[in-house]
Amino acid sequence: MISLEQYIVVSSLLFAIGFFGVLFRKNTLVIYMCLELMLNAANLALIAFSRYHGGMGGNLFVFFTITVAAAEVAVGLAIIVALFRKRQTVEVGELNELKN
């Protein structure tokens, strides 16, 4: 039988890999995909806790998280497209107007 700890290990590794990607990559689209990965890792932890604790709260929370994530992806990608239209780039290193 798989213990709760193993699910938490997988979930935390996925979250940490997503975090690593957010810090490591320069492409806005890849950073955004890594953010999705982090959201999903949290979902996995919530479902595992819900299963081992014996309640429906975690499952329902994941349902809401998925809905909000879908809305967030739509808005975020629209922002990236608007940014690309204005600047012709998606590299975070070149988007530094606010710096000066």
Which spans of this chain sit near another protein (rule: CB under 8 A)?
1-10, 12-21, 23-27, 29-30, 32-34, 36-37, 40, 43-44, 47-48, 50-56, 59-60, 62-64, 66-75, 77-82, 84, 90-91
Name the residue with tokens 């975090």: 19
Our CB check for another protein shows the closer of 92 and 99 to be 92
CB of 36 to another protein, least distance (A): 7
Q: Are 22 and 31 in contact (CB under 8 A)?
A: yes
Our CB check for another protein shows the closer of 79 and 100 to be 79
3-class SS at 99?
helix
Q: Are 44 and 11 in contact (CB under 8 A)?
A: yes
Cα separation, 11 vs 23, whole angstroms: 19
CB of 99 to another protein, least distance (A): 17
